[in-house]
Structure 1
Amino acid sequence: MRILLTGSSGWLGRFLAPMLRARGDVVIGLDVAPGIDTDVIGSVADRALIDRVFADYGIEAVIHGGALHKPDIARYPAQAFIHVNVTGTLNLLEAAAKAGHDRFVFTSTTSLMISTAIRNELADHAVWLDETSGPLEPRNIYGVTKLAAEQLCRLAQLESGLNCVMLRTSRFFPEDDDTHRDLSGENMKANELLHRRLTVEDAARAHIAALDRAPEIGFGSFIISAPTPFNRSECDELKRDAATVIARHFPDAPALYAAKGWELPKSVGRVYDAARAEQVLGFRCETDFNAVVEALRSGAALPFTHDSNYVSPKEVPGIA
């Protein structure tokens, strides 16, 4: 297939483009910033550019990973999120429908599922989140625009029959958290693999699975996150005493953490359940918290990337 990959210079794109090419697909990368996998420099909000790319490259499918993200809230006005995340998605959907495509994969986010109450962990239990959770009340412009883009995908499938699969990915960024700095970056990422993180490699593999299954699925949204070891019956205890729950599932985790100078979470406020992706999409993340424990036990490299110096290519001076 000749696939248009938006966000090709970004963190996901740099892993996804080579995977697609390795299996024989032709990848045409589009991004506002240059990169090794980017063929066209420009914005998805530019409809004339999108039309030219479709015509010039004979695009047959779209993986739409380009977006403004949560950390961009501090750098860009709300209108920029509308232009890129909403108008840009509409441009691509309309071009794909006009071209007669049978598949469209949209990189969404679990962030759109997080209300202010969930974000502030006001419940007396860990909130269990799956695709049936709602009502959806995103707490910021990032979540609002990604939810709007999902609805545009729904309309495209309804009105034109374009098969759309939306992947609500949990965290896979390599840099430090932009709001929580209580723990080291590696410690936090390891903890998050229990309930709200996946590796970028798994994120890329999920997009390929969605691309392949889209015609069969027709329309669907899926949480993409490392499989949690927890179950719903543990939600009360997870909020009160997460470390005890974790030790029950991974008896040597406390000692391994202590030896590294790490801390297990004392409380878990929410859990992403990715079971539907495994059942319907046929995708399961390869890396989970057990891989962290195995790495600590054997002294091997940690099974995820942490780069406190990572900067989005579009934020490099002179690029955007």
Structure 2
Amino acid sequence: MRVLLTGSSGWLGRFLAPVLRAAGHRVVGFDVAPGVDTDVVASVADGGAVAGVFADGRIDAVIHAGGLHKPDIARQPPQAFVDVNVTGTLNLLQAAVAAGCGRFVFTSTTSLMISDAIRREDAEAAVWLDEGSGPLEPRNIYGVTKLAAEGLCRDAWLTHRLPCVVLRTSRFFPEEDDTHRALSGENMKANELLYRRLSVGDAARAHLLALERAPAVGFDVLIVSAPTPFARQEAMALKRDAAAVIARHFPDAAALYATRGWTLPASIGRVYDASRAEAVLGFRAVDDFASVLAALRRGEAPPVAHDADYVGPHAI
């Protein structure tokens, strides 16, 4: 297939483009910033630029991985999020429908599921989050616009029968967390693989599977994250003493962490359940907490990409 990939110069795009090509697809990269895999330098908010890519009728599918992200809140006004994340998504959907594309994959975010209450982690137990969780109360313009874009994808399926798969990805960014700095970046990312992170390589694989299976799926919204080792019945224990729960699942975790001077989480306030993506797409992340510990046993670097100096294309 000839696949239009938005966000081709971004963190996910630079991993996803080679994965698509390896699977036999031709990639047409579209991004606001130049890049190795970017053929068209423009914004998805520019309806003319989007229409121009589809003009020759040779786009078979779209993976819409581009957009403004949470770190952009400090750099961009709310209107920019509406223009890019909402209007941009609508531009792509309308062009895809008009061109007779057979499938559309949208990169969304688990962030839109996190209300202020969930973020404060005031509950007595860890909040278990799956596709049925709600009501959805996004806490910032990023989440609000991503949720609106999901709705546009649903409408494209209901109105035009354009198969759309929405992937609510958990964290896979390489930079430092912009709100929590108590732990080193690698330590924090390793911890998050227990409950709210995946590797960028796994994110790319999930998008490929969504692309391949979209016609059979029709429309769906799926959480994509590393598989949690925890069960729902452990939610209260995770909030009260996460280290003890981790020790039950991974008896040598504390000792292995000590070799790096790392700290296990004392409390976990939320858990993303990605089991439905496995059932619908056959996707299960390869890089998980167990693989982190396996790397530490071998004295190797853990499978978490950390780059404190990373700056995305929209910040340039």
Normalising by the residue count of structure 2, what TM-score does the alignment of the two structures yield?
Answer: 0.99
- Given residue 182 of structure 2, which amino acid in structure 1 is its aligned partner? D
- Given residue 211 of structure 1, which amino acid in structure 2 is its aligned partner? L
Q: d(CA) in 2 for partners of 1:32 and 1:239? A: 42
- Given residue 71 of structure 1, which amino acid in structure 2 is its aligned partner? P
Q: d(CA) in 2 for partners of 1:259 and 1:28? A: 45
Alignment partner, residue 177 of structure 1: 177
Alignment partner, residue 168 of structure 1: 168
Q: Secondary structure at the match of 1:220?
A: strand
For the 8 Å contact 2:103–2:163, the answer to whether it is kept is yes
Alignment partner, residue 154 of structure 2: 154
Superposed CA deviations along residues 23-71 of structure 1, whole A, max 9, x for unmatched, are 2111000000000000000000011111101114721100000010001
Q: How does 1:43-192 map to 2 (within 5 A)?
A: 43-56=43-56, 58-192=58-192
1:259 CA displacement: 2.0
Alignment partner, residue 262 of structure 1: 262
Normalising by the residue count of structure 1, what TM-score does the alignment of the two structures yield?
Answer: 0.98
Alignment partner, residue 298 of structure 1: 298
Q: d(CA) in 1 for partners of 2:54 and 2:26? A: 13
- Given residue 229 of structure 1, which amino acid in structure 2 is its aligned partner? P
Alignment partner, residue 30 of structure 1: 30
For the 8 Å contact 1:28–1:57, the answer to whether it is kept is no
- Given residue 70 of structure 2, which amino acid in structure 1 is its aligned partner? K
1:76 CA displacement: 0.3
- Given residue 259 of structure 1, which amino acid in structure 2 is its aligned partner? T
Q: d(CA) in 2 for partners of 1:314 and 1:94? A: 24
For the 8 Å contact 2:57–2:99, the answer to whether it is kept is no
- Given residue 241 of structure 1, which amino acid in structure 2 is its aligned partner? D
Q: d(CA) in 2 for partners of 1:154 and 1:313? A: 28
Q: Secondary structure at the match of 1:84?
A: helix
Q: d(CA) in 2 for partners of 1:244 and 1:235? A: 12
Alignment partner, residue 20 of structure 2: 20
Q: d(CA) in 1 for partners of 2:162 and 2:58? A: 17
1:172 CA displacement: 0.1
Q: d(CA) in 2 for partners of 1:180 and 1:193? A: 16
Q: d(CA) in 1 for partners of 2:314 and 2:159? A: 34
Q: Secondary structure at the match of 1:307?
A: coil
Number of residue equivalences: 316
Alignment partner, residue 314 of structure 2: 314
Q: Secondary structure at the match of 1:168?
A: strand
CA RMSD, aligned part only? 0.8
For the 8 Å contact 1:239–1:268, the answer to whether it is kept is yes
For the 8 Å contact 2:165–2:220, the answer to whether it is kept is yes
Structure 2 unaligned residues grouped into runs of 5+: none
Q: Secondary structure at the match of 1:177?
A: coil
1:307 CA displacement: 0.8
